[in-house]
Structure 1
Amino acid sequence: MEDEHKELYIKEKFNNIDYMMLKSITDCIYEAVCVIDEYGIVIVWNKSAEKLYNIAYEKIIGQNIEDFFDDAMVNNVRKTGVSIENKCHCPLKNHPVLANSMPLYIRNVFRGAVSTDRDFEELSRLYSELENANSKLIFLENQVKKNLGIFGNIIGKSSSIVKKIDMARQIAPTNSSVMITGESGTGKEVFAKGIHELSGRKGLFVPVNCSAIPSELFESEFFGYCSGAFTGANRKGKIGIFELANEGTVFLDEIGDMPLSMQAKLLRVLQEREIIRVGGEKSIKLNLRVISATNKSLQEMVKTNKFREDLYYRLNVVEINLPPLRDRKEDIPLFIDHFIKEFSEKNSKNIIKIHGEVMNILNQYKWPGNIRELMNVIEHIVVTNKNGIIQKNSIPEYILLHMKENEFFKEYPLDLTRAIRELEIENIKKALKITKNNKSKAAKLLNIPRGTLYHKIDEYKIKKL
């Protein structure tokens, strides 16, 4: 159709409506808009349609839609009169679109059909970005619910922990991998989170327990997966741990429990700094920092071929070894005070006094579970308290039994003569028990002559043990 005939034809179709105004309006619409008349002639083709299909307005307007598309959805709707909503369609080879199309009626008279199309790949990308943002939001909500960082800022004034804090502050702004070692419950995750917060990274801090992820789920959990990647997969796909931590920090706790097969995959990610989702094809570049933690000796595991040496050196650029709580005696009162306030507020309790005897026992206990155990004990003491005063009977029974069995504390009388007598009886009984009543060996343990031991056994009327 010649240009002058096109213009007359279109004006007639629109009953003298200002066609240029209509075109200006449709050009402002983000979707690709196409309108055909009852014969299949294209009478509206906006700029988004030009861009989506790479067909110029001047070329297609006034022409039959079938000259350009063998299977245009808008043409099918023209023929059938049945509307179609949100259907994936491929009018051009390898060019999927999400199409909506419906019949066009003007004053109850059928005049053709109209369609609005969107690039399917673009929609998929936008949807993926939305899902990623939603996953991050859900992750943050869960972190708040878990109340991560219940310790607040790292607590401690002992020289052993102050040195570690200084080192953490020094290396925080760098991009170097950090390995945090120490016994279970020493606060490795708190340190890792502190390093992340001081690093200035804009992304998330994502903690993950390596020992809790089965080998068969490693790739899908860490790399994420696309829709339909495997049976049982979420139809929307899922963002992985590495992608979630992009621009931020991933904290690999219990790294020593990661199977060798998983270690190889982790090493590749750290070397390549990119991942591909399970079932996907596009690689995703990563900019993340890795902080690891373990309570095991990875060096010994390397020697016994239970941990990859190359991965060990990749992770252990800077090592921070956290001291156990028993080596931070002066910090115990700080933790006790902090946890009492924390759990009192959380449980609407009013703790007004803690007996010195209780503080003495808690200070002398060895805390094999470290800070985590202390936190658990203080929570127990607070929630079971009735009168706001913490006394000896508030302490969990297992701690009192442990202290008694190991004789870490004993209340001796103020009378020195009586106190010395009780101490001697106690130590003699202990020596006899250890040596199975061999008095010669017992005397050596006590560092006294054997005759003196016999005399004291008679004096204190100590029976055979």
Structure 2
Amino acid sequence: MQPLEYLISPIIQNLNNINAQRINAENNILIENIKQQKMDLLQKKITPAQVSLVRPEIVESWIRSSENGLDPLVYSNPPLMDAVSFENRIKEKNFLIQAASPYISQLENMLSLIESYIFLSDENGLILRVVHALGKNKFRISPGTIWTAETIGTCAHDLCIHFRTPIQLCGPEHFCRIFNNISASSAPIFDANSNLEGTLTICSPRFDRQNPYSLGLAVIMAETIQKEFQLSVNKELFHIALTGTEDAMIMLNECGVITKANEAADAIFKHLPQELVGSQISDIIENKPFVQSIFETEKPSINTNISIKKTKQKLFSGLIQPIKNYNNNNIGYLITLKPVNQTLKGYSGNGFTTRFTFENIVGTSPQSLKLKSLAKRFARYNFNVLIQGESGTGKEVFAQAIHNESRPDGPFIAVNCAAIPKNLIESELFGYEPGAFTGAERIGKPGKIEQASGGTLFLDEIGDMPVALQAVLLRVLEDKMIMRLGGTRYIPVDFRLVAASNKNLLELVKKELFREDLYYRISVFKLNIPPLRERGSDVVQLMDHFITTYSNAESIDKPILSNAAKYILLQYNWPGNIRQLSNAISYAVCMNTDGIIYPEHLPDEIVNASPTPVLPAKEVIETTVEEIESITGNEALTVNLSVKEMEKEVIKKALDNSNNHVRYAAKILGLSKSTLYRKIKQYGLQPNDEL
């Protein structure tokens, strides 16, 4: 903000000097010179830099006014907002108007002997209230009129809005000559997030009736209105927060005394003999460690089981949040409580519900069993986890399972680092304060990291995170504190990081595309998910799982997968892994017509990838060459394998897919274990006899 002396009109400053007669003569000369410079500027006889008698802000506003088609010699009445729109705007600005009313009345009494008027505007130049207007009011300033550089030219409150700072204008400093004898002092009013809410202006039709103190008075009154406005808005927001939730909410002061509680809290503590408000938190909560922890930590405490004194009712503490003042000092605490049975597993602060636990991850192959056991062990600890694997292998499935095992009652926030534009990823992760950048939401926005506090942050495709941002993330992981874009204070966060990538991060480290220190920070625990082609019997289990899932979703009878289709699916390489298998099965379920999925019901890219139109084991074992040809058509005529050779290849493929375990291979082929052993011996194959 500029010094007060700079904001005051030089004409007003000059009027305060001694020897009024001489000063008046000098002022007249100054006024005429300002008028002449203004006309010369607008007629482009001189450049803006040559206008030496007024401040650069005023010169800029003169130019804007002229570019809007206004003539300094012609006064156009300001436009009037229609009655319905103005009424709606008054409702929107009710808090500001109510906060300003008593102070505007004080100003009216203070200035009762001076011909002047006081008016309140919104942040767009709309006049909301006018008082103490004496004389004929030839300027037609009234509620509902719009005064801006676009409508009436340069004026004090328009400059105040434009530059967000107090300002005083006098006489010809205004754009239109009808204002050549007036003076005006205007000061801004801001909300708690530094958004402009409006202006307060003190104006006189004779500039010799104002002085430098007029601007100071406007500033003091505007600041007083601002404090009252912010307080009333905060009270209303807090009231809405308390009454607009089903959770019990209690506010404590720094000494642990309950200062406010909502109806849900009153209902929970209604059995207590004393009033809730005014009680010590230690008088109503049974758990001493819980009560002590409130005052010993400055970080939010989440998911703490507590109980109420003199009752068996159990409560779940959703959040204990320290309340900070502008100096970042604790002034109290906000506690959110809800019954334990209302706590939902898989809750997410952004509305996303996790679906997967270790129990419902499909797959019993040795690889899958080992992977689930390892991941479940990792979930017991709070260290960061890095999951690596090809696209479609189910990295997020394991991330959700780890979350539901370790922090089931907290949020699960998933972020795909490759899907967010590089210029937006920082604001998405860290959030931003109001006005942090063009297009930012007016009330600001918490970032994904902040939303994940108390739960899990899942950073998918972390290898695509910009290197510059990796350094910031590293600092957050070390300090567990974030600062929003445009913010000035740090916010504590408590989250578990699970990162995933389909790239080799160590290779990226060697190429200096990924920070080495961040890699070791996020990979305390590592899970490497093998591709589907290496997971043996999981393929068959996943087929059945997806057939059941999609049949239920479409409310149709579950179709049977023919052996011919099963064989084609088993010999396919699955470059898209589980995601591709899921899509293929959903397609086949929709395409089948008689309750059986045949090869022609599979996607073309899978059928066309089959090296030979060989039938699967059970059909080959019991089918003649002629029957094979009748089923497959002309394509079977091109097969160079005999029936026995085909049978042998099918069994070998099943054994490969089951890691050479006979039990799994028999399930794949739909044969009994004894029959498969007989065929293995017949073809001289080597099974694993352990299972």
Deviation at 1:327, TM superposition (A): 1.6
Aligned residues of 2:367 and 2:535 also touching (Cα < 8 A) = yes
Change (3 A) 1:34 1:224: closer
Q: Which amino acid aligns with 1:339?
A: F
Aligned residues of 1:204 and 1:245 also touching (Cα < 8 A) = yes
Deviation at 1:352, TM superposition (A): 3.9
Change (3 A) 1:96 1:166: farther
Q: Write the distance in 2 (CA, Å) between the matches of 1:202 and 1:413.
A: 53
* Pairing 1:162–2:274 present: no
Query: How does 1:408-423 map onto structure 2 within 5 Å?
Result: 422=641
Q: Write the distance in 2 (CA, Å) between the matches of 1:362 and 1:150.
A: 27
Aligned residues of 1:155 and 1:331 also touching (Cα < 8 A) = yes
Aligned residues of 1:88 and 1:97 also touching (Cα < 8 A) = no
1:236 pairs with 424, 443, 447, which one? 443
Query: How does 1:284-295 map onto structure 2 within 5 Å?
Result: 284-295=491-502
User: Could you say which residue in structure 1 is the equivalent of 2:350?
Assistant: 139
Q: Which amino acid aligns with 2:590?
A: V
* Pairing 1:250–2:457 present: yes
* Pairing 1:172–2:375 present: no
Q: Write the distance in 1 (CA, Å) between the matches of 2:586 and 2:422.
A: 35
Query: How does 1:45-124 map onto structure 2 within 5 Å?
Result: 97=226, 119=231, 122=234
User: Could you say which residue in structure 1 is the equivalent of 2:329?
Assistant: none
Deviation at 1:207, TM superposition (A): 0.9
Q: Write the distance in 2 (CA, Å) between the matches of 1:94 and 1:319.
A: 56
Instruction: Write 1 or 2 for the structure with the bigger share of helix.
Output: 1
* Pairing 1:373–2:576 present: no
Deviation at 1:153, TM superposition (A): 2.0
Deviations 1:129-186 (A, max 9, x none): 89xx9xx98831xx36xx8659982111111111111111112132100001111111
Structure with larger RCO (C-alpha < 8 A, sep 6+): 1
Secondary structure of the corresponding residue to residue 606 of structure 2: helix
Deviations 1:294-344 (A, max 9, x none): 111111221221211000000000001112111222112221111111111
Deviations 1:416-453 (A, max 9, x none): 999997359x99xxxxxxxxxxxxxxxxxxxxxxxxxx
2:404 pairs with 186, 191, 197, which one? 197
Q: Which amino acid aligns with 1:159?
A: P
Change (3 A) 1:124 1:35: closer
Q: Write the distance in 1 (CA, Å) between the matches of 2:365 and 2:613.
A: 26
Secondary structure of the corresponding residue to residue 593 of structure 2: coil
Q: Write the distance in 2 (CA, Å) between the matches of 1:118 and 1:278.
A: 22
Change (3 A) 1:34 1:212: closer
Q: Write the distance in 2 (CA, Å) between the matches of 1:374 and 1:129.
A: 46
Secondary structure of the corresponding residue to residue 364 of structure 2: coil
* Pairing 1:323–2:534 present: no
Deviations 1:343-373 (A, max 9, x none): 1121222124222222222222221111111
Aligned residues of 2:358 and 2:376 also touching (Cα < 8 A) = no
Change (3 A) 1:213 1:347: same
Deviations 1:263-293 (A, max 9, x none): 1222122122211111221211111111011
Q: Write the distance in 1 (CA, Å) between the matches of 2:461 and 2:371.
A: 20
Q: Write the distance in 2 (CA, Å) between the matches of 1:202 and 1:95.
A: 44
Deviation at 1:126, TM superposition (A): 4.8
* Pairing 1:187–2:406 present: no
Change (3 A) 1:244 1:300: same
Query: How does 1:360-439 map onto structure 2 within 5 Å?
Result: 360-404=567-611, 422=641
User: Could you say which residue in structure 2 is the equivalent of 1:282?
Assistant: 489
Q: Which amino acid aligns with 1:353?
A: I
User: Could you say which residue in structure 2 is the equivalent of 1:269?
Assistant: 476
Deviation at 1:209, TM superposition (A): 0.7
User: Could you say which residue in structure 2 is the equivalent of 1:260?
Assistant: 467
User: Could you say which residue in structure 2 is the equivalent of 1:305?
Assistant: 512
User: Could you say which residue in structure 2 is the equivalent of 1:296?
Assistant: 503
User: Could you say which residue in structure 1 is the equivalent of 2:194?
Assistant: none
Instruction: Count residues with an aligned counterpart.
Output: 345
* Pairing 1:351–2:562 present: no
Name the TM-score, length of structure 2 as normaliser.
0.43
Change (3 A) 1:124 1:245: farther
Name the TM-score, length of structure 1 as normaliser.
0.62
In the alignment, structure 1 segments of 5+ residues that lack a partner are: 1-31, 41-63, 100-116, 428-465
Secondary structure of the corresponding residue to residue 336 of structure 1: helix
Q: Write the distance in 2 (CA, Å) between the matches of 1:314 and 1:126.
A: 39
Aligned residues of 2:411 and 2:452 also touching (Cα < 8 A) = yes
Aligned CA-pair RMSD: 4.7
Q: Write the distance in 2 (CA, Å) between the matches of 1:370 and 1:94.
A: 63
Secondary structure of the corresponding residue to residue 403 of structure 1: coil
Q: Which amino acid aligns with 1:340?
A: I
Q: Write the distance in 2 (CA, Å) between the matches of 1:284 and 1:129.
A: 20
Secondary structure of the corresponding residue to residue 351 of structure 1: coil
Change (3 A) 1:371 1:222: same
User: Could you say which residue in structure 2 is the equivalent of 1:225?
Assistant: 432
Q: Write the distance in 2 (CA, Å) between the matches of 1:93 and 1:208.
A: 44
Deviation at 1:34, TM superposition (A): 12
Change (3 A) 1:126 1:211: farther
Q: Which amino acid aligns with 1:234?
A: E
Aligned residues of 2:564 and 2:599 also touching (Cα < 8 A) = yes
Secondary structure of the corresponding residue to residue 400 of structure 1: helix
Q: Which amino acid aligns with 1:357?
A: A
Q: Which amino acid aligns with 2:611?
A: K
Aligned residues of 2:566 and 2:616 also touching (Cα < 8 A) = no
Q: Write the distance in 2 (CA, Å) between the matches of 1:382 and 1:173.
A: 39
Aligned residues of 2:348 and 2:412 also touching (Cα < 8 A) = no
Q: Write the distance in 1 (CA, Å) between the matches of 2:562 and 2:625.
A: 27
Deviations 1:58-81 (A, max 9, x none): xxxxxx9x9xxxx9x9xx99979x
Q: Write the distance in 1 (CA, Å) between the matches of 2:614 and 2:581.
A: 20
- Percent identity at matched positions? 39
Change (3 A) 1:207 1:124: farther
Aligned residues of 1:343 and 1:379 also touching (Cα < 8 A) = yes
Deviation at 1:192, TM superposition (A): 0.3
Q: Write the distance in 2 (CA, Å) between the matches of 1:95 and 1:168.
A: 58
More deviation in 404-413 or 277-286? 404-413
Change (3 A) 1:124 1:267: farther
Q: Write the distance in 1 (CA, Å) between the matches of 2:487 and 2:100.
A: 33
